[in-house]
């Protein structure tokens, strides 16, 4: 997260992947395992994390992507 805070929207692959419509996936590896965090930027550098999961398979579960997209929509509506 510190790297994301410091680099903001300039942070790119392999650390951050664009999954569409402004939603991004942060890739994090640690001794405990691999985690993914889904987030989006609002008004420049303001970051909203909408979902975090611990990876157990190679592919990100479709349900996690759908949940993240829905939460992003809800947050964006609240910000209007």
Question: pLDDT tens for residues 5-45?
Answer: 777 777 788 889 999 999 999 998 888 888 999 999 998 77
**DSSP reduced 3-state for 69:** helix
Maximum C-alpha span of the chain: 40
β-bridge pairing 33-42 and 46-55: antiparallel
Q: Give the ranges where the chain is alpha helix by DSSP (H).
A: 2-7, 62-79
Q: Quick one: pLDDT at residue 1?
A: 67
The distance of Cα 44 from the centroid of its chain, to the nearest Å, equals 15
């Amino acid at each position: 997260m510190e790297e994301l805070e410091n680099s903001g929207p300039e942070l790119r692959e392999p650390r951050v992947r664009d999954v569409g419509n402004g939603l991004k996936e942060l890739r994090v590896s640690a001794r405990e395992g691999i985690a993914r965090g889904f987030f989006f930027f609002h008004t420049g550098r303001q970051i909203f994390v909408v979902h975090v999961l611990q990876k157990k398979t190679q592919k990100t579960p479709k349900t996690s992507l759908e949940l993240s997209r829905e939460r992003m929509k809800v947050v964006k509506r609240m910000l209007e």
